[in-house]
Structure 1
């Protein structure tokens, strides 16, 4: 459902940009570092929208790649901590592999008494 909603929103956004671009067809001056040229405004609008979409997509792919790498690293870490055959895992090894709020000592016994 979330994917369908995002596709619908993207389609509506593309439709609005296309309508806005079709209404604005006059040639406008565009300044480059090396000169100036007259370009139809429709090309400027559509080109800007495409480059913006590509930039957002690229940042999204980089973020997804980093999160995938993080998930794989955490899965490897979890696999190393799991004991499939009842093997003894030294507490120092578990403590060295863990991080964050799990590093705090377990005080459940203190609360129960």
Structure 2
């Protein structure tokens, strides 16, 4: 269901950008670092959307790689802790005995 929602929002976003770009076809002056030039506003809009998508995708990829590395490290640490730890004692038996000792109750008194 989550994937379908993502696809629906992506399609709606693409349609809105396309309509906005088609309406704005007037030539505009674009200032580059090394000079200026004229380009239709539709190209400027589409190029800006494309560059924003590429930047967001690259940030997402970096985050995924970082999380995968952290996950791998935590799995190794978890496996080491499982291999080195002693078996866990049965808590139900020892806790009832400890409660009786704290209350000062002997097994003979019960």
For the criterion TM > 0.5, the same-fold answer is yes
Give the number of aligned pairs: 89
Is the counterpart of residue 50 in structure 1 residue 50 in structure 2? yes
- Decide which structure has the larger Cα Rg and report it: 2
TM-score, normalised via structure 2 length: 0.75
1:59, 1:36 → 2: CA distance?
Answer: 30
* 78, 85, 92: which one aligns with 1:89: 85
Deviations 1:33-85 (A, max 9, x none): 111111000000000000001101110110011001100100011111113xx
Q: Which residue of 2 aligns with 1:26?
A: 26
Q: Which residue of 2 aligns with 1:13?
A: 13
Q: Structure 2: 5+ residue runs without aligned partners?
A: 87-94, 103-110
Question: How far does residue 3 in structure 1 lie from its aligned partner after superposition?
Answer: 1.4
Q: Which residue of 1 aligns with 2:89?
A: none
RMSD, aligned CA: 1.7
Q: Structure 1: 5+ residue runs without aligned partners?
A: 91-108
Equivalent position SS for 1:39: strand
1:6, 1:89 → 2: CA distance?
Answer: 44
Is the counterpart of residue 41 in structure 1 residue 18 in structure 2? no
Q: Which residue of 1 aligns with 2:92?
A: none
Structure 1 runs of 4+ off > 4 angstroms? none
